[in-house]
Amino acid sequence: MSPLPPKHLDPATSYASDESLFIDQIYEPPMGYHFLKRPYELLPLAVESYPQLSFLDADGNEVDEDDEALAFSRYTLRVRADERYQPHPAFALDGEGRPLYLFATAAEGARYQQIPDFPETGSRPVLANDFVYAIKRLADPQIASPMLGFMAHYIVGMSEFSEQVGAIPRTGWLDLDDYPMAGLRVLDDRTFSITIRGRYPQFVYWLAMHFFSPIAPEVDRFYHNPGFAERNLTLDWWPVGAGPFMMVKNDPNSEIVLERNPNFRQAFYPAEGEPGDREAGLLEDAGKQLPFVDRAVYRLEKEVLPLWTKFLQGYYDRSGEVHGNTNGVYDQAFVVGPDGVEMSEELEDHDITMDPDVKPAIYYYGFNMRDPVVGGYTEDKRKLRQALQIAFNTEEYLNIFYKGNGIAAHTPIPPGIPGYLEGEAGINPYVYDWVDGEPRRKSLDEARKLLAEAGYPNGRDARTGEPLKIFIDVQSQAISNTMMNWMDRAFGEIGVQVEYRPADWNRTREKLLTGNTQIYSHGWLADYPDPENFLFLLYGPESPLVCNCDGANNSNYASEVYDEAFRKIRILPPGPERDELVAQAVEQYRNDAVWLFAYYPKDIYLNNSWVRNNKRHGVSKATLMYTRVDAQERARKQVQWNQPVTWPLYAGALLLVSLLLPGVVAYRRRQKATARRARSD
């Protein structure tokens, strides 16, 4: 587990990866992802097929996708017939079919402290209305979902619904079924539709997030029983879903336990993956029914070393779930060999396997394109930025400060996302050359040449003779003196001076919102695996100075070529035309040299030999059902690795005897001498 226990387990409010570790095993949203394929492939999960998509004009009449009158997109989904909720007391009924556990006062239900305390449970099939109810919960201001602001821009009627239910006084449960939302329709027990404004092909990716998982109204009502919230009997503490697992224990400061949901639908291990998966043994379980494990125990370890020790003793199957947890013990776990990072001899002796994971994320230092020194779009400004890009050796930076756990980025789009290109086609030609089958950073002489052409020969302003000094805004806790010294040296190689402006996050954020930076650091983790989710980081209207909001374009980049390509990317479905526009946007980003440097973060997970199917999925955490554990091998290894060490006891006993023996001998000699004297007397 992570160093902190999960804060939210309600799918409407949770937006943290350590919480998704649990939520995504318990709930099934309409869509999901193929476990093995890369680039990431979207698949139907709780619904029978991909949503049926139709387009409407302002009057609700169907139109063609390319019709200028298009005003809305409607997604129609049909729920699987075998989707069924886990056993739970919210579904328990009495002999007359009424809910068994609904109480008028807190005293009536006071005997129940945890969900396992309820003796009776029930279940039912998942219905179309459960998905509609879940979306209404996203709009309820009392729920405070992080999705409300974003989704209200798209789902028709969501803002109005939010205002309506937010104004209703309430002391207990509010049945959201009593209040319609214009963009939601239940067509029959298993069919529903969602209508959004305009065209937004990426909406289907949002349907793969737990926010859109079904919530049964009777579950919501159950958790609003008087006095339940005071005992943590809430959906935020005890989730209820139709996924492969259910939560049976929630002690977040100690352990959380999931068990197989006996009502889970039929699901099977995939029969195909990406190249290399078969050789890695990832298709050995093809066609077998899921899930493989009956019970998963997650224990909270607040320190890395105890976790690491127990992992090596065989008491943990993996080094971590949300994080690899190997940074703190890196020197014990790995050595740098001729082929890069390799496992230490101790780990190899344990038959431990290594699973590097490149995140669908990007961290970067960006230029403020409105800054009078490093900003601007003239040729001399571009050359200045390109010179700085070449001088900053990203590969060396990652090797020194991140132990090689990162990949230098040539594009804003990470591996595994459509639009990312391997090999020579994927390099940034303004910073790298392709030499002997690999990218090679351009020389410092080339950087000095560009710097001179930009008006700064030898790092001095050709007009004034003043040295060029750049300013880097950094978060105080995210940079060390060693890092700053390294950057000083890197830029000093071309005659450029650096001044750092450290601040806490709140102050840094304020400077970003007001455009009061020159060079800044930031990062982004994919919400969904589409290039649009990364290219928007440089979309002109996303600049905080343009939108007067917390926009994502902190570089304040403004390129009509880029923006026009992005606007089309946002509304086009996948295909050659969209791919060409993505390539065009990436080329414009490279030509304008918008970011000083960027990298894709990498984590290394370790797995004990008895754990199979360890492939990491960068977007979805719903992978526990694919994990297979050989419990017999684990038990054997635990005995083998934890034999009591008895030789110190024997050695200690021998030492004690060796120390005592002379004294015993001397004592007996004295006794005998005393006896002889007594006889002689």
What is the per-residue pLDDT across 412-468, written as a single tens digit (0 to 9) for each? 999 999 999 999 999 999 999 999 999 999 999 999 999 999 999 999 999 999 999
CATH code assigned at 39: 3.40.190.10
At residue 336 the predicted structure's pLDDT band, cuts being 50, 70 and 90, is confident
Over residues 42-100, the pLDDT tens digits come to 999 999 999 999 999 999 999 999 999 999 999 999 999 999 999 999 999 999 999 99
Contact 508, 473 (CB under 8 A): yes
Lowest-pLDDT range, 50-64, 209-223, 310-324? 310-324
* Residue 536 neighbours by CB distance under 10 Å: 20
221 within domain boundaries: yes
Confidence at residue 646, expressed as pLDDT on a 0 to 100 scale: 57
Confidence at residue 263, expressed as pLDDT on a 0 to 100 scale: 98
- H-state helical runs in 374-526: 379-391, 394-401, 444-453, 481-492, 505-514
Could you give the count of Cα atoms lying within 13 Å of 27 in the half-sphere of its Cβ?
A: 33
Q: What is the DSSP annotation of 628-653? A: EE-HHHHHHHHHHHT----HHHHHHH
Domain region containing 672? 644-681
Q: How many domains does the chain have?
A: 3
Clarify whether residues 374 and 319 are in a common domain. no
Confidence at residue 550, expressed as pLDDT on a 0 to 100 scale: 84
Confidence at residue 17, expressed as pLDDT on a 0 to 100 scale: 83
Q: Which two tokens stand for residue 556?
A: 């304040």
Q: Which two tokens stand for residue 294?
A: 């009956």
Clarify whether residues 217 and 256 are in a common domain. yes
Of all residues in the chain, what percent carry a pLDDT higher than 70?
93
Clarify whether residues 184 and 105 are in a common domain. yes
Whether the pLDDT of residue 641 is over 80: the answer is yes
Mean pLDDT calculated for residue range 467-476: 92
Clarify whether residues 210 and 303 are in a common domain. yes
Confidence at residue 564, expressed as pLDDT on a 0 to 100 scale: 98
At residue 680 the predicted structure's pLDDT band, cuts being 50, 70 and 90, is low
Clarify whether residues 57 and 130 are in a common domain. yes
Contact 198, 72 (CB under 8 A): yes
Over residues 8-27, the pLDDT tens digits come to 999 999 988 889 999 999 99
Clarify whether residues 343 and 403 are in a common domain. no
Q: Which residue has the higher pLDDT, 655 or 233?
A: 233
91 within domain boundaries: yes
Mean pLDDT calculated for residue range 176-203: 98
Q: What angle do CA 503, 505, 508 make, to 5 degrees?
A: 60
At residue 652 the predicted structure's pLDDT band, cuts being 50, 70 and 90, is low
User: What is the reported pTM?
Assistant: 0.89
Confidence at residue 673, expressed as pLDDT on a 0 to 100 scale: 63
Whether the pLDDT of residue 548 is over 90: the answer is no
At residue 163 the predicted structure's pLDDT band, cuts being 50, 70 and 90, is very high
d(CA 173, CA 193): 25
Last residue of a domain, which of 329, 352, 375? Answer: 352
Whether the pLDDT of residue 508 is over 80: the answer is yes
Clarify whether residues 366 and 343 are in a common domain. no
Whether the pLDDT of residue 665 is over 80: the answer is no
Mean pLDDT calculated for residue range 586-600: 98
Clarify whether residues 479 and 579 are in a common domain. yes
153 within domain boundaries: yes
Over residues 553-565, the pLDDT tens digits come to 999 999 999 999 9
Mean pLDDT calculated for residue range 398-419: 93
Q: Which residue has the higher pLDDT, 307 or 437?
A: 437
243 within domain boundaries: yes
Over residues 274-302, the pLDDT tens digits come to 999 999 999 999 999 999 999 999 988 87
Clarify whether residues 40 and 92 are in a common domain. yes
Mean pLDDT calculated for residue range 387-407: 94
Confidence at residue 323, expressed as pLDDT on a 0 to 100 scale: 75
CATH code assigned at 556: 3.10.105.10
Last residue of a domain, which of 352, 371, 395? Answer: 352
37 within domain boundaries: yes
Clarify whether residues 177 and 54 are in a common domain. yes
Q: Which residue has the higher pLDDT, 549 or 58?
A: 58
Nearest to 606 by CA among 348, 300, 399, 362: 348
| Mean pLDDT rounded to a whole number for the chain | 92
Last residue of a domain, which of 302, 333, 352? Answer: 352
Of all residues in the chain, what percent carry a pLDDT higher than 90?
78
Percent of residues in the chain assigned helix, strand, coil, to nearest 5: 35, 20, 45
Cα–chain center distance at 538:
22
632 within domain boundaries: no
Q: Backbone dihedral region of 418: left (phi > 0), alpha (psi from -120 to 50 degrees) or beta?
A: beta
Confidence at residue 456, expressed as pLDDT on a 0 to 100 scale: 98
636 within domain boundaries: no
Q: What is the DSSP annotation of 452-463? A: HHTT-GGGB-TT
Mean pLDDT calculated for residue range 183-205: 98
463 within domain boundaries: yes
Strands 361-367 and 595-607: antiparallel
Q: Which two tokens stand for residue 1?
A: 């587990």
Whether the pLDDT of residue 586 is over 70: the answer is yes
Clarify whether residues 137 and 276 are in a common domain. yes
Clarify whether residues 369 and 348 are in a common domain. no
